[in-house]
Structure 1
Amino acid sequence: MNKTIIININGTVFHIEEDAYEVLRTYMTEVKRHFAYSPDSDEIVTDIENRLAEMFNERLAADHKQVIVLADVQSVTAIMGNVNDFNIDDEEEESLKSGRKLFRDVDERILGGVCAGMAHYFNIEPKWMRLLAILFIFFGGIGLPVYIILWIIMPAASTRADKMAMKGEPINLQNFKRNFDEEVEGLRGGFQRAHSEVRPAIYQIGKLIETLAKLFIKFIVSLVAFMGILGMIVLFIGLITFLGYWNSNQLNTFPFTIVNPGYKSVLAFSAFIIVIIPIAALVMFALRVLVKRIAISKTVYFTMLIIWIAGLVMGAYHGSKIASEFNEEAEFSVTTPLTPSPVYYLKVNPVEFLTKEDSVRYKIDQTNFKGTLISRNRDYHDPRSVRIQILKGDVDKPTLVQEFSARGSNFEEALSTARKVNHRFTQKDSILTFDPKTHLQRGELWRDQSVSLILRIPENTRVMIEAPVNRFLNDHDYWECRPENAPWDYISSWKMTAEGLKCQYVKPLEVDTDSTSVEVR
């Protein structure tokens, strides 16, 4: 009766007699000691253990037994070879070669490694096997399905033992060592070839990227220089225009009407300096980048900075002077009684009234001049100076309250400016018409002049509002009192109730096709 030991060889459990175990342990100790200084010793030892486990399984299955005995270990280790047998000559090694096995060579594959594996099996060059496969694919028509089938059924040579069996090399320690050395040498040579081949390509790609980057930067800098020069030209033209040398009539509109005549030139120059100095500095920097021979001294930049700061201070001083003329607000009101009516139509005056000076400016023949002109475009870009509020009146008689307001440096000046504001409001029967803006005297500066119209009407009075009035309404929205898909000139209907003005949708008449009667729904 012999003592047995349970061992695990790379994941496979075996029962082995004690004396056989001692021989196997001594053998593996020598193998591990020999390969200890190899760069990939763990992988080599693992492959050797895998091969030992395969050979033990084969012997146990052939002899129909479950325990490894000493004779099994001696036989397997003799086939694998000892570490002292590394000086074997080529002739002896050639005589030890075993039969080849069919594997897919994944190291030399183009697709699946089928052709390379079959080339090893038949001991021919892989290129001839690939050429044969191509001929079968394009001329025989069966090459592709055969290749796919072989790809599926042929195992891949994943371990070092598989690779040696694929090439017909004896699976022993010597070939494990030689196979590993060849693999390392191949990788080293591959890295050297890749380095020698890739380095010039990387250098050329780098030079190309560098050239493209320089061209892109020059394009951007050239564009910046061009836009900067164009902007400086536009600023010069704008300065001349603002000073009144070109088409000065265009400057009699908001926001130019805020500026006092005495500050006009000063503010124009300060704004010009504040904007043009940074643009000029940017253009100079761009030109210096494009033409490296251009040298600009620090004195030039320092002088430009001083000029820019002077323009900023000058503009801030005169800007604060203008802002001081908006310190105080004053207002006064005018109440006008209206002719009573159960319904009022609220409209915006489509006619612009012209003064005598306007008729001269527009070259209108004063002999036939009637004082009005159909407005071509509403000046809706101006600040909204008219507001309308519709409230419930405390008495039965409707009234219109016009509240005029303006600003100034003090209350007296603000009140004087407000009293100069002119706004027209007319009533013709039930039609109430108001101007869309206030009218200032010729040359009057804008000081937030405005007028608030407060329409007070009795309860149950209806108000019909046209679409252009919506811009001037306070507390009510015309678009919320308008049916969907209504025409642009739809007139909304409102009614004054005890709670205030309420929208009254006017629904269209619907005809019942089953009868001749007409009903409102």
Structure 2
Amino acid sequence: MKKTFTINISGTVFHIEEDAYDVLQKYLVKLKNHFGNEEEGKEILADIEARIAEIFIEKASDDKKVITLDWVEYVIETMGTPEDFAEVEGDEEETFSSETKRKRRLYRDPEHRVLGGVCGGLGAYFNMDPVILRIIFAVLFFATSGAALLAYLVLWIAVPKAVTTAQRLEMRGQEATVKNIEKSFREEVKEVKESYKKFRESETYTKGKKKVENAGEVTYSVFKLLLKITVLIIGVILIVSGFFGLLGMISSLVIGHSFVQGWPMIWGPEIHFPDILKYLVEPGTVKLGLIAVGILAGIPLLAMLYIGSKLVFRYKSNNAAVGLGMVGVWLVALIMLFVISTGQLSNFRNRSSVVESSNIQCDSCQTLYLKMTEDNYKGNATQSWDLNKLKVIEMNGEKVILGNPRLDVEKASGETFIVSVKKSSRGRTRESAREHASDLEYNYQLKDSMLLFEPYFFLEEGDKWRDQEVYITIKVPEGKSIFLDESMVDIIYDIENTTNTWDGDMIGKYWEMKPKGLTMK
């Protein structure tokens, strides 16, 4: 039993014996070396492989489908080898008429078609001019009241199209040998080149080329004009934004607010740099921080002005030292701000707290009424920052930092109401954090059975913001109640209750402390 291989020739899978495979492989290698690796040679080889596949398919039968050495030798004898068709220069004019003829096969000719190539294929089959056949079909169409059209459509569907060079040779009755396939392919290429050359030399091509060139010039001019207008608009926007942005930044740094705030396309921040740095960092670093922020924001704005002016006025400036210097200054400012920020962040390294608890001296009170005093500072805040609802107000000519406390309710372990105030702060050390927490000022007062809470806690004068917080906890004995006045809505914070009622819905109601927790009466 001989060893077999599975191969693919022109998209068709075959089984081939080992000795036949060796011979066929050597044959194909010879052809590839002869025609080379150029695109033209690859197309010729593809047509040759397609013809070889056709021969193998024709020789295959139901009882024998494996390619043998005899089949391969038949293919080589039929197709020929490179040595067989090596030609001298004088033989290049040889025509196909001298080659071995074979029985013609009907195909549709796609190269000489008007509709489906049927007449072109019939012309090649009968060795007639396709024009004559087209005239005959036209006459028959009228003579048979359209029946000839049906015959044409049937031929269009039934007759295969000559796709490969081998099929086109069969259509003309030529043997599909390697030599004929090569000649046919080269003649087709030559015909295409000559047709293209005639087209290039025609008057139609010259006129069309001129029109295309004129259209291209017009399009280029319009595009160039639109580009200039776009660049000019961008330049103006950059100049305006850069100029007023610089004004806004300088005014924010110097006087604490921007007088161009709200203008379109203008950078006018609501950040009050002098004040915010004054309340956050140590006094000695405020000026350095302002300088660093000014450089970091100012250099990009200056760059906007510079680029915008170049786009509008089109002046040339190749002084790279200025640009590199500005980049260097910007990087130095960035490093300086990073160093300052890193040093100031150490002030928030540790957190500590102090707790002050006191009993409510109201033994006969079964219900404690919780209410907040009037907000005397409402509308007086000069700045409001989202740092635990931190605000800055002006009182007696001095600016004071204040914040909102938070209130919660828990069950008491004894029989007395207890108010616990926890003051918390951060600091460089736990000791400094505890000092900041102790310096917080928060007041509440008891009037009969009513407990009145201040809406704000205050930082001591000169103290810095260190994430200060105040938590108030009302401890209610079991069996006693509280009443939450509507004014408490601003400070109550996530009070647990048996019905899981939202804080905003707890106001205006009585709540009794039961074994399971705070319950609405």
Q: TM-score range by the shorter chain?
A: 0.5 to 0.7
Amino acid at match of 1:337: I
Which residue is 2:119 aligned to?
Answer: 118
Tell me if the contact between 2:169 and 2:176 (Cα under 8 Å) persists in the aligned partners.
no
Letter of the 1:117 counterpart: V
* Letter paired with 1:353: N
Does residue 1:154 correspond to 2:165, yes or no? no
Judged with a 3 Å threshold, the aligned counterparts in structure 2 of structure 1 residues 281 and 428 are, in CA distance, closer, same or farther, namely farther
Distance 1:381 1:399 in 2: 26
Give me the whole-angstrom Cα distance separating, in 1, the residues matched to 2:483 and 2:195.
91
Rounded Cα–Cα distance in structure 1 between residues aligned with 2:432 and 2:47: 105
Tell me the alpha carbon deviations over residues 316-361 of structure 1, each in whole angstroms, 9 at most, x when there is no partner. Answer: 5699579769989674636251545444554555x31259xx99x9
Q: Which residue of 2 aligns with 1:293?
A: 316
* 2:443 equivalent in structure 1: 423
Q: State the percentage of identical aligned residues.
A: 14
**Does the 8 A contact of 1:466 with 1:489 survive in 2?**
no
Aligned pairs for 1:111-510 within 5 A: 115-122=116-123, 123-124=129-130, 152-166=157-171, 168-171=172-175, 173=177, 175-185=180-190, 222=235, 227-242=241-256, 257-258=279-280, 267-281=289-303, 283-284=305-306, 291=314, 293-296=316-319, 298=321, 301-302=324-325, 305-306=328-329, 309=332, 313=336, 320=343, 331=354, 333=356, 335=358, 337=360, 339=362, 341-344=365-368, 346=370, 348-349=372-373, 351-353=374-376, 381-382=389-390, 385-404=404-423, 415=435, 418=438, 421-425=441-445, 429=449, 432-439=451-458, 446=465, 448-463=467-482, 472-473=491-492, 476=495, 481-482=500-501, 495-498=512-515, 501-502=517-518, 504=519
The one-letter amino acid paired with 1:268 is: L
For residue 183 of structure 1, report the CA deviation from its aligned partner: 3.4
Q: Is the 8 A contact 1:403 1:451 kept in 2?
A: yes
Letter in 2 for 1:276: G
Q: Do the aligned residues in 2 keep the contact of 1:401 with 1:455 (CA within 8 Å)?
A: yes
State the one-letter code of the partner of 2:441: V
Of 431-440 and 217-226, deviating more is 217-226
Per-residue deviation, residues 415-465 of structure 1 (Å, max 9, x unmatched): 598456143455574x64533321457887545554332212111334455
SS at match of 2:390: coil
Secondary structure at the aligned position of 1:455 is classed as strand
Q: Of 26, 32, 37, which residue of structure 1 is paired with 2:34? A: 37
State the alpha-carbon separation in 2 of the partners of residues 93 and 390 from structure 1. 113
Cα shift readout 1:287-310 (whole Å, capped 9, x = no counterpart) = 568746024352574377458737
Change (3 A) 1:101 1:489: same
CA gap of 1:118–1:277, structure 2 versus 1, over 3 A, is same
SS in 2 for 1:453: strand
User: Which amino acid counterpart does residue 309 of structure 1 have in structure 2?
Assistant: V
Which residue number in structure 1 is paired with residue 4 of structure 2? none
Q: Distance in 1 between matches of 2:100 and 2:166?
A: 19
Superposed displacement of residue 163, structure 1: 1.9
Distance 1:276 1:164, change over 3 A: same
* Distance in 2 (alpha carbons) for counterparts of 1:468 and 1:148: 92
- Listed one character per residue, the Cα deviations across residues 188-239 of structure 1 (whole Å, up to 9, x for unaligned) are 6799999999x9999x79989x979987995897466654444323211212
How far apart in 1 are the matches of 2:150 and 2:368?
91
1:185–1:211 CA distance, 2 compared to 1 (3 A)? farther
Unaligned 5+ segments in structure 2 are: 1-8, 15-25, 36-40, 61-69, 124-128, 262-269, 392-402
Secondary structure of the corresponding residue to residue 178 of structure 1: helix
Deviation at 1:401, TM superposition (A): 2.8
* Residues 389 and 163 (structure 1), Cα distance of their counterparts in 2 relative to 1, 3 Å cut: same
Shift of 1:37: 3.2
SS of 1:352's partner is coil
Matched residue SS, 2:478: coil
User: Structure 2 CA distance, aligned partners of 1:51 and 1:318?
Assistant: 82
Cα distance in 2 for partners of 1:235, 1:322 equals: 25
Residues 408 and 494 in structure 2, CA contact (< 8 A), matched pair in contact too: yes
Q: Is the 8 A contact 2:239 2:305 kept in 1?
A: yes
C-alpha distance in structure 1 between counterparts of 2:148 and 2:315, whole Å: 66
Contact kept in structure 1, 2:444 and 2:454, CA below 8 Å: yes
Question: Relative to 1, partners in 2 of residues 1:478 and 1:191: Cα closer, same or farther, differing over 3 Å?
Answer: farther
Which residue of structure 2 lines up, in the alignment, with residue 366 of structure 1?
Answer: none
Contact 2:285/2:340 (8 A) holds in 1: no
Closer, same or farther in 2 for the Cα pair 1:186/1:144, shift >3 Å?
A: same
| Number of corresponding residues | 423
Tell me the TM-score normalized by structure 2: 0.54
SS at match of 1:481: coil
Classify 1:260/1:342 alpha carbon distance in 2 versus 1 (closer, same or farther; 3 Å). Answer: same
CA distance in 2, matches of 1:141, 1:466: 99
Partner SS for 2:457: coil
